[in-house]
Amino acid sequence: MNKTLCMNGRERSGGWSLVAIVASVGLCATGWAGGAAPFKHQVETYRGDDDTGTIAFVIRLEQPFLANEFEKSNFLRAAPLSEDVRLIYPAQTRFEKKHAAFFGRLRNPANAAANGGENQPARVRIDYETVTEALDGSREVRASSVEIDIPRPPAPGGDREIYAEWARMQTRHFAALLEYYPRDAFLQYVVLQSAERHGITAPALPAAAERG
């Protein structure tokens, strides 16, 4: 399996008071100093052995603590920083029982030259928020981000379930859009052809879309 385990990323924020963070929602200070993000991350990749060189990746995030308030209030979002990173799902998520994940695709290695070559990692930015509480009880929400490298697998390999889960998420995304645009032929096509193209079970079309 193609896997990279990283404890920290490249932290970008307006800075924060470590004392304020620990006092705010009971977060553990371990691993926060020195520009570290408030979560660990692990990157796994899959590269198919077909002619298209299908590459999918997953970024798994894990909190080192269980803080219900943090999970309920803190949205996580992923944004591509490299041109060949695309189609990241979900658009935003939260930690659930200390875990969260983003799935995405990389263009095949033949298209990597514009991004520094096949040996250079791609990059994704994870945006998140921290809530601090002052001594007077007031709260401040501060936006922060961390950059995560996505290694380009040099050869076929990895867990194909990474690609399958990405495909399921993309299909669910378009199926949800059909709730708002039930007669959109393109959206219907994308959902219905998912099983054949990606080898997954396509969700049922909304009733309004089936009526056409």
**Residues 37-64: pLDDT tens digits?**
788 899 999 998 876 678 999 999 998 7
The letter for the amino acid at 70 is F
The encoded tokens of residue 193 equal: 């052809």
Rounded CA separation 212/74 (Å): 39
Contact partners, residue 11, CB within 8 Å, separation at least 6: 35, 36, 37, 144, 145, 146
Q: Which residues pair with 79 in a beta bridge?
A: 125
Q: Are 29 and 130 in contact (CB under 8 A)?
A: no
**Residues 77-102: pLDDT tens digits?**
999 999 899 999 998 998 888 899 99
pLDDT at position 156 over 50:
yes
Would you state the pLDDT for residue 93?
Answer: 92
Q: Are 179 and 209 in contact (CB under 8 A)?
A: no
- Tokens 């070559």 -> residue: 117
Rounded CA separation 98/62 (Å): 5
pLDDT at position 18 over 80:
no
* Higher-confidence position of 132 and 110: 132
> What integer is the mean pLDDT of 15-30?
30
Question: Residue 17, SS3?
Answer: coil
Rounded CA separation 142/45 (Å): 31
Q: Are 162 and 49 in contact (CB under 8 A)?
A: no
% of the chain residues with pLDDT over 70: 69
